[in-house]
Amino acid sequence: MVVPIQTDQMQQNFRNYKDIFLKNTNVHEVSRASYFPGDNPWQNMYVLEGTEDQIPLWNMFVDFDFFKTLDIQLSEGRLFDMNKDNDSIPTYVLNETAVNNFNIENPIGKRMGTFTDMQGNIGYGEIIGVVKDFHIEGFDQPIRPMILSVSNNVWFTAFKIAPEDMNATIAYLETEWNKLEPTHPFRYRFLDDKFGELMKQQENFGSMFLYLTILAIIISSMGLYGLASYTAEQRTKEIGVRKVLGASVGQIMNMLNRDFMKLVLIANIFAWPISYLLAKDWLSNFSYQINMPLLPFVFATLVALIIALITVSTQSYMAANSDPVDALKYE
């Protein structure tokens, strides 16, 4: 659960207030950050000591226990420790993407810095750890190379709370928060809601595509029914002759249905490469993609054949059961 800090006093003294919230046994962890997953990150240029190359890294300021609060796993080195680290002497934690993208070998103990003024002076800090990658943006974006450092100048609080008695826990947090920050309302959001908003566009696209697909199936079925009716009418005399010669209802239905099944199958064969290209183009919007399997195309073809068979069979059944005498009189 993320709560924005809205006063300078709350921001400056928050570390002294943490124990107040942790008195509730359903509040497991408390920490802060300059932003959280679902927010827009920002970038800064860093220099690895001993090199001149500038490295673009997504910068994130956090408080102690940030990684524990968000269940971010350590890959190597150590995490920020209140007994060892402070705000005045910078220490850094990188994510695995930053280490891999910029080929930083044996990063623990190396020094990295950023420009502190317009004269090009660099303030260095030691890399103390590397954490496993975690998402900040939506899944349509790649994981950014990130650098994290401790700061008290952060304005978003995260509470890791138990799922049991959640309403009571939130009420407790709101009560205690309002005592410390009485001039502003207590506002909170859940991280899964923030991530959900990032995927809302894709969910809306999926819903729209579903409705358009249903509409297309209805229109196609109506057109196919009309075509089947027209075909049966054109072959009325042929159907009458076949019935007089002993053709059964099943044989006549099979004759009429077979031609339509061939057309539907040919249409699907042509649709496969077009659908594949459109799906690949849509998947290209995501940084993490699946390989296009064959099964959905086969399933779609089977569904199309079944719908076509049901639609055409209703008309072919009526044509096959017509009186052959009336059929032979048909002009």
| The amino acid at 3 | V
Which neighbouring-strand residues pair with 127? 92
CA dihedral 284, 290, 292, 295 (to 10 degrees): -150
pLDDT at residue 191 in the model: 83
Look at residue 265 and give its three-state secondary structure: helix
Note the pTM of the prediction, 2 decimals: 0.69
Tell me the C-alpha distance between 77 and 70, whole Å. Answer: 18
pLDDT at residue 209 in the model: 82
Beta strands in the chain (DSSP E): 2-4, 27-33, 42-48, 54-62, 74-77, 91-95, 111-115, 122-131, 146-150, 156-161
Q: Are 239 and 327 in contact (CB under 8 A)?
A: yes
Domain ranges of the chain: 2-198, 200-329
Interior CA angle at 307 toward 301 and 312, to 5°? 120
Tokens linked to 323:
């009186």
pLDDT at residue 29 in the model: 94
In terms of C-beta density within 10 A (0-12 exposed, 13-18 middle, 19 or more buried), how is residue 241 classed? Answer: middle
Residues of the chain with pLDDT below 70 are: 87-88, 198, 235-237, 239, 243-245, 285, 287-288, 320, 322-331
pLDDT at residue 288 in the model: 66
The H or E element containing residue 274 is helix 249-283
How does strand 111-115 pair with strand 42-48? Answer: antiparallel
Kindly give the interhelix angle for 249-283 and 200-234, rounded to the nearest 10 degrees. 150
Give the Cβ contact number of residue 253 at 10 Å.
19
Tell me the C-alpha distance between 99 and 52, whole Å. Answer: 17
